Structure 1
Amino acid sequence: MLSLGQAAKEVGVAKSTISKAIKDGRLSAEKLDNGSYKIDPSELFRVYQPNRSKETSNGPSETPKDNLELLVENKVMQRELEFMRERLEERDKQLQKQAQKAEEELSEARSDRDHWRAQATMILTDHRPPKGFIERVFGLWKTRKSNGQI
């Protein structure tokens, strides 16, 4: 956490500028009991750019050795990123294959369902030709005669 003066130095502006930004609501800060402010550096740098003149006046902050270490770290991270992308592509291909297989199984299940539905319909449907009026009356007379009702 930075005081108002420290924050002003970090970004290269006057304390009054920081104070006005707090009062206007552009910059959030914690007000202490004594009336001073504590400002989170990340919040400060969200609103203002860091002061670059501080680094240039003291010379470069990194030595050539630091630069070399950063380059090596960068290469390592690039390789790791490539590796992770390859793994992600492989996983994507696996998921696509699984989705395609699931679609094929679903299609087969639907086909089976339709086949068995047609079979059930065939079994449950009366396929005999309809009888005419005479055949129905004669059939009823035959049935009653054989049962002894006539």
Structure 2
Amino acid sequence: MTMTLNEAAKSCRKAKGTVLKAIKEGRLSAPKDVDGRYEIDPSELHRVFPVTTTDQLEKPLLTPISDHENRIEIERLRAELKAASTLSENMAETVADLRKRLDREGEERRQLTAMLTDQRTERGAKRGWFGFLRSV
């Protein structure tokens, strides 16, 4: 099976111009088809542009995952999502509870402050040194 110029360039990780230059210089033999496109044999291409181990390492390794493994992964992700959702709900409840407590404490503080203020102002009379009322 032969490759086009574009496929050959992708296969050897070179620019199309580089592969075309090798053809024009005669280093790579590639006849043209009836439409004028180059038919490049893969073995001929790799003779001129050998596949190196680094090229092979750069290619991603695709490992097929079975449907069973996909289902397991989906269930794991669902469990993680449920746990995160539960944690989020718990945190929201805690924040709401803390806000209520803070509001109650603030109201209680205002009431106590008002009581203290009222006690001092209710007794408009001045007290003497020993706490006896003096008439002014």
TM-score of the two chains, using structure 1 as the length reference: 0.43
TM-score of the two chains, using structure 2 as the length reference: 0.46
More helix by share: 1
